[in-house]
Structure 1
Amino acid sequence: MNLLITGASRGLGYEMAAAALERGHSVIAGTRSLDVKSSKLSLLEDKYGPRLHIVPLDVTDEQGIASLASILNKEGTKLGAIVNNAGILTARSTPIEELDMQQVAKTFEVNLYGPMRVLKHFLPLMTETDAAIINISSEAGSISNAYPGDYPYAISKSALNMFTAQLRSLLKDQDIQVLSVHPGWMKTDMGGEDAPTSAGESAAGILDLIERKVVPKTKFNFVDYSGNEMPI
C-alpha cells in the first residue's frame, strides 16, 4: 500500500511513517519544508530507500498541494491511504473572554481546512483497493463530552468529524474506509511527557485500522486508535 501522511516529520506522523515502512508499505511523507527535513526522516530514507518519498506539503498552501498532486498523478502514483495528521493546538486553556480569534482562524486553517485541501486534490489518486482515509481527530472534538477550554482545537476537531461523516457518505459505494481517529494522549511535543501512550503504540493501532486487521463497528466512524467507538 502507498500511504500519504501529512505532518510526517515528527510525533505521530513520523511514527506512522516508520511503522508503515517496517510493515512493507511505501510512504509519501509530507513536511512543511524540505529545508527543515528531520534527521529522523532522513534515517528512514537511508534505510528504506525509494519506498520513502519525502515531499514538501504545507496543508495551508493549496497551490502547493495542487502542484504536488499533479506531479504525483503524472508519475502514475496511486494511493491506498491518506492520513491527515498535521495539526496544531493553540490558545490552550485560554478563557473565551481572552480568546484571540486569529488563533482560532489559524487552527482551522490547519486542523480542518488542511484535510479538506488535501482530500480535494488527492482523492482522485486513491485508486488502490481496500483504501483508507484517516483524519486524526481528538476526544476533545466530542460534542457530548464538551468542556470549557481548548476552544480552537476542540471546535476544529468536532468540525473535522463532520467532514469525515460527509466523506463517508460521499464514498459509501466505493471500497474506501473513512475514519476519524482519536490517537490517545501521547508523548509528543503536543501531548507532553506526562502522556500515558507512546506515539508508536498509537501508530501501530492506526495501521491496524488502515490494513483492516481491526474493523470497527461504529455509526459515526469516530474511533480511538484501537478501533473502539468514541462518543460523537
Structure 2
Amino acid sequence: MNILITGASRGLGLALADESLKRGHSVIAAVRSPEHGGKLAELRERYGANVETAMFDVTDETAIARFAAGYAARGKRLEAIINNAAILTERGSSIEELDMTEVARTFDVNVLGPMRVVKHLLPLMDGTGGVIVNISSEAGSLHGAYGGDYAYGTSKTALNMFTEQLKHAVKPRGIAVYAVHPGWMKTDMGGSEAPGDPRTSASGILDLIERRTAPSRRFSFVDYSGSAMDI
C-alpha cells in the first residue's frame, strides 16, 4: 500500500511513517523543505526505497499540484492519504487579544491544507478504494468544547465538517474517510505532560487504514481505536 503522510518529519507523522513501514507499506513523507525531513533519515536507512520524500507545504497549492502530476506521470497510485500536518496557535488568548492573522494561518494549514491535498491527490486513488484520514482533535467537538482555543478548536471543527462532506462524495468510489482524534500525546504540540504515546495512536490509525477496524456509525469522527467521538 502506498501511503502519503503530511507533516511526516516529527511527532505523530513520524510515528505513522514508522508504523506504516513496519507493516510493509511504502510511505511518501510530505515535508515543507529538506531541513524539515532530517528525522526521516533513519527510516530511509532502514527501509530504503520504501520511503520517498515529497517536498511541499500544504499551504502551497501549486507545489501540491506539481507533486501530484509528477507522481501520476510515473504511473504511481495512492491507497491512503493521512492529512496530519497542523499548527497550534493562539491557545489561551481571549477574544479581545486574538491575533486574527494567526487564526487565518491556522485555518490555512489545518483546514485548507487537507482540502488542497485531497483536491489534487484524490485522482491518484481512483480505482484503488483506499482510505483518507484527517487528523482531528477532541478540541473540534462541540459537545466537549472548552474556552480559550479559538483558532485550533474551530479549525478542527471545520476539518470534521470537511471530512463529512468528503465522505459522502467519495463513497461511490469505495473510499473510506475518517476524522481521527489521536489522543493527547507526548509530541512537540502535545507537550511532555501528555499521557499518550504517538506510536500507540499510529498503530490504531493504521488499523483503520488497513480496515482491521471498521467503525459502524453515521458520522466519521472517531478516535484512534475507531470508537465514536462526540460531535
TM-score (norm 1): 0.97
Residue 34 of structure 1: how far off its partner (Å): 1.4
Counterparts of 2:63 and 2:127, CA distance in 1 = 24
Residue pair 1:34, 1:55 contacting (<8 A) in 2 also: no
Q: Give runs of aligned pairs for residues 205-216 of structure 1, distance below 5 A.
A: 205-216=204-215
Q: Are 2:108 and 1:100 aligned? A: no
Residue pair 1:80, 1:128 contacting (<8 A) in 2 also: no
Residues 123-177 of structure 1: CA deviation (Å, up to 9, x unaligned) = 0001363400000000000012222211100000000000000011101212111
Match of 1:17 in 2: 17
Unpaired stretches in structure 2, ≥5 consecutive residues: none
Residue 212 of structure 1: how far off its partner (Å): 0.7
Match of 2:188 in 1: 189
Taking only aligned residues, the RMSD between alpha carbons, in angstroms, comes to 0.9
Q: Are 2:215 and 1:226 aligned? A: no
Residue pair 1:8, 1:29 contacting (<8 A) in 2 also: yes
Give the share of equivalent positions with the same residue, in percent: 58
SS of residue paired to 1:135:
strand
Q: Are 2:197 and 1:198 aligned? A: yes
TM-score (norm 2): 0.98
Match of 1:34 in 2: 34
Counterparts of 2:67 and 2:27, CA distance in 1 = 15
Residues 76-124 of structure 1: CA deviation (Å, up to 9, x unaligned) = 1100000000000000111111101001000001000000000010000
Residue pair 1:78, 1:128 contacting (<8 A) in 2 also: no
Task: Call closer, same or farther: CA 1:62–1:177 in 2, change over 3 Å.
Answer: same
Counterparts of 1:127 and 1:41, CA distance in 2 = 28
Residue 189 of structure 1: how far off its partner (Å): 0.2
Match of 1:180 in 2: 179
Q: Report the AA paired with residue 15 of structure 2.
A: E
Residue pair 2:129, 2:173 contacting (<8 A) in 1 also: no
Unpaired stretches in structure 1, ≥5 consecutive residues: none
